[in-house]
Amino acid sequence: MGGGQIQSGSSSIISTKYILISLGLSLLGMGIVIYMTYSPGVLEHLRLKRMPGLVIAIGVTFLRLWFIASKIRFLGEEELSWIASVRVALTWEFASAVTPSTIGGAPVATYAMSREGVKLGKSTGIVLYGVLLDQFWYAMAVPILILAGVWFEVIPPEIGFVGAATMVLIYAGLLLYGALLAYGLLFNPKAIKKLVKSLFRLPLLRRFSTRVNEEAENLEEYSWQLRSKPPRFIGIAFFYSTMAWLCRVAIPVIVVLSLLPANEILLILRSLAMNLASLVIPTPGGSGGVEGLFAIFLGPLIDRTVFIGLAVFVWRVITYYTSIGVGIFATTWYVNNQVDEIIQATNSGETEKEMEAEKRAEM
């Protein structure tokens, strides 16, 4: 970190401000939930026989990271090593946790892959295709939730009509965004190329336009390559994406069941609905909002209200705070690597100047 930012060239990719805001909002949201549900002696109600479930939750967190890294490596046609793929996955998760949902971790993941030696156009294509696979998962999850709503209270009645209407809008928005992305990436990659070029005609971005226009051509080429892939390729990539999301849905379920019994089916359905709703929270990493969503969606299923705050705390430590802690090391690796390259280039330039000076002296 330098100057309060993790930097790429002259432009920052992650601001310290976002990290502090994300952490602050998360602590505030978690603090409110704990304050509203806490009562003395909460730890006395814990049962040690359920505690191994927390170890399983940690294991599922690492399994999710492996699926994300596998998807990245597979979409990159194994150009990235396993270690590099894990680094990119950690950086992507870290960036997603500390940047607003409108920005997301995709730009930082693109930067990370380019630092690993993948062409910028190809790395952009990999990220876009990875996001598209997630959209396919949403398109599959939304009908499941709507159908399950016939038999189960997937949307908590506590959120009222406005909350239910908001969830419907979220479902519709995810499906629409997925359809537009699929059209642009699979059927009309020229549209994405035109959009990218148009964005970089803006005054603040115009100085990058030459490089971006070249990479936009690579993006279009990679999009056509993906389109020509056999169904098996798509199926394997979608499998990795789906399994990563199932792990994400499973973690809060496992955390709750590690504390006390609950309706397993309803826990899974509400965890899925909660994770979809968290995608539209505008704060960095959804902080401050996801803690409230947990209390709203899963809280009513926890018999002992005093356990709600504890469950939120354990869930966020396992997923969010661990992601930030480990992700900082992964992201800093790229920054240090870039600094080393700059130093080497500078030293190389100085050596060349010295050699030229010696030649002139000999003459």
CB 85 within 8 A of CB 72: yes
pLDDT in tens, the chain (363 residues): 344 444 443 345 566 777 888 899 999 999 999 888 877 766 666 666 677 888 999 999 999 999 999 999 999 888 899 999 999 999 999 988 887 765 667 778 888 888 888 887 788 888 888 888 888 888 888 888 888 888 888 888 877 777 778 778 888 887 787 777 777 777 777 776 676 667 666 565 566 566 556 556 666 666 677 777 788 888 999 999 999 999 999 999 999 998 888 899 999 999 999 998 888 888 887 888 899 999 999 988 988 887 888 899 999 999 999 988 888 888 777 766 654 443 344 444 444 444 455 555 555
**Whole-number Å distance between alpha carbons of 213 and 283:** 31
Question: What tens digit of pLDDT does each residue of 137-157 get?
Answer: 888 888 888 888 888 888 888
H or E element that contains 5: strand 5-8
Full DSSP string of 45-113: G--GGGTHHHHHHHHHHHHHHHHHHHHHHHHTTT-S-HHHHHHHHHHHHHHHHHSBTTT-SHHHHHHHH
**Helical spans, DSSP H, in 200-230:** 209-227
Residue 334 CA to residue 337 CA, distance in Å, equals 5
Say which residues have a Cβ less than 8 Å from residue 27's Cβ, sequence separation at least 6: none
CA dist 99 → 34, 104, 220, 315 (Å): 25, 6, 27, 20
Phi-psi region of 160 (alpha: psi -120 to 50; beta: other; left: phi over 0): left
Contacts of 45-48 with C-beta under 8 Å, sequence gap 24+, read 45/260, 45/304, 45/306, 45/307, 46/259, 47/260
In this prediction the pTM is: 0.81
**What's the pLDDT score for residue 103?**
60
pLDDT value for 3: 40
User: How high is the pLDDT of residue 252?
Assistant: 95
DSSP-derived secondary structure letter, 15: E
Sequence length of the chain is 363
pLDDT at 351: 46
pLDDT at 86: 93
**CA-CA distances (angstroms) from residue 72 to 58, 143, 247, 286, 334?**
22, 27, 17, 23, 17
Output the CA–CA distances (angstroms, integers) from residue 206 to 196, 199, 203, 324, in the order listed. Answer: 12, 9, 5, 33
**Domain range annotation of the chain:** 14-39+46-335
Please give the Cα distance from 246 to 12 (Å, whole number): 32
- Measured CA to CA, the distance from residue 169 to residue 175 in angstroms comes to 10
**Helix-helix angle 231-259:264-278, to 10 degrees:** 120
